[in-house]
Structure 1
Amino acid sequence: MLSGRIMGLDIGNNTIGVAVSDLMGMTAQGVTTIKRKSKKEDIEELKKIISEKQVNLIVSGLPKNMNGSVGPQAEKVIKLCDYIKEETGLEIEFWDERLTTVSAEKMLISGDVSRKNRKKVIDKLAAVLILQNYLDFKKF
């Protein structure tokens, strides 16, 4: 296993949900939701977290279409990830994130979280689910 942590990202048009694994690569914890400003500022935010948490691999959710094809949203994510890779030198793996936000929403509703508060944490929780699914998959 790698030494260091794995960062999970849920990249949207307005926000980036961020999660990070524990050192053993067993569990994912939510870190923050970055409000997107500019590509440069978004990357600077990510670099701070990468440095602080000693991240050495990034897993980004890839929002494929329901039929598995790569649509315009997934292309935007791939483009931003190419830029992140250039700027950080870290490898980036993609994880199919279809329905992750739906799962996050259901978890928050079942936890009785108000709509207003759900908006604040849904992207971070989606990042946790993306990373946790990836970690669980890699264990086998």
Structure 2
Amino acid sequence: MLTGRIMGLDIGNSTIGVAVSDMLGITAQGITTIHRKSKKKDLEELKKIIDEQNVNLIVSGLPKNMNGTIGPQAELVKKFCELIESELKIKVEFWDERLTTVSAQRVLIDGDISRKNRKKVIDKLAAVIILQNYLDYRKF
């Protein structure tokens, strides 16, 4: 039985999409999109959410290349997650996020969300998809 929630992150250069699980680890809900300012400020924002939501594990999307290799963007994500682990003292696991943003975009288009409004929620929805895929995988 979980004693806390799991946080899902979609880490980009300018934003971080954030989602959290319910206490049972069954469903993911979007929380916010952090507009990145500095590593210090980004960590402060994440720490605040971790404390408020009682998070005990983070799952970060890892943007692999389509052939499965690790490219420059994935290296940046890994480095930031190492910083999260060392500064916030919380474990970070990775989830292959290939095509997650494409899936999020499709959901929003199918929901008839305007382009302007899609831009506001795309990263948060991508974090939800990353976390929900992770939660669904853990059930098996």
- What RMSD, in angstroms, separates the aligned Cα atoms of the two structures? 0.4
CA distance in 1: counterparts of 2:84 and 2:2, whole angstroms = 20
What amino acid maps onto 1:102 in structure 2? V
- For structure 2, list consecutive stretches of 5 or more residues without a partner in the other structure: none
In structure 1, C-alpha distance between the alignment counterparts of 2:6 and 2:130, rounded to whole Å: 11
CA–CA distance in structure 2, aligned partners of residues 33 and 44 of structure 1: 14
Q: Post-superposition shift, 1:2? A: 2.3
Deviation per residue, 1:78-124 (Å, 9 max, x gap): 00000001111111000000000000000000000000000000000
Q: How many residues align?
A: 140
**Who is 1:13 aligned against?**
13
Output one character per residue of 1:14-60: Cα deviation in whole Å (capped at 9) or x when no partner: 00000000000000000000000000000000000000000000000
SS in 2 for 1:112: coil
* TM-score normalized by the length of structure 1: 0.99
Q: TM-score, normalised by structure 2?
A: 0.99
Aligned to 1:35: 35
Aligned to 1:3: 3
Give the structure 2 partner of residue 137 of structure 1.
137
Gaps of at least 5 residues in structure 1 are none
Query: Secondary structure, in 3 states, of the residue corresponding to 2:56?
Result: strand
Could you tell me which amino acid in structure 2 is paired with residue 40 of structure 1? K
Distance 2:49 2:87 in 1: 14
- Distance in 2 (CA, whole Å) between partners of 1:119 and 1:39 is 23
Q: Would you say 1:117 and 2:80 are equivalent positions?
A: no
Distance 1:102 1:28 in 2: 18
Sequence identity (%): 76
In 2, Cα distance between equivalents of 1:60 and 1:69: 17
**Which residue is equivalent to 2:86?**
86
Residue 76 (structure 1) aligns with? 76
| Structure 1 residue runs of 4 or more that deviate by more than 3 Å after TM superposition | none
- Structure 2 equivalent of residue 64 of structure 1: 64
Q: Which amino acid aligns with 1:121?
A: V
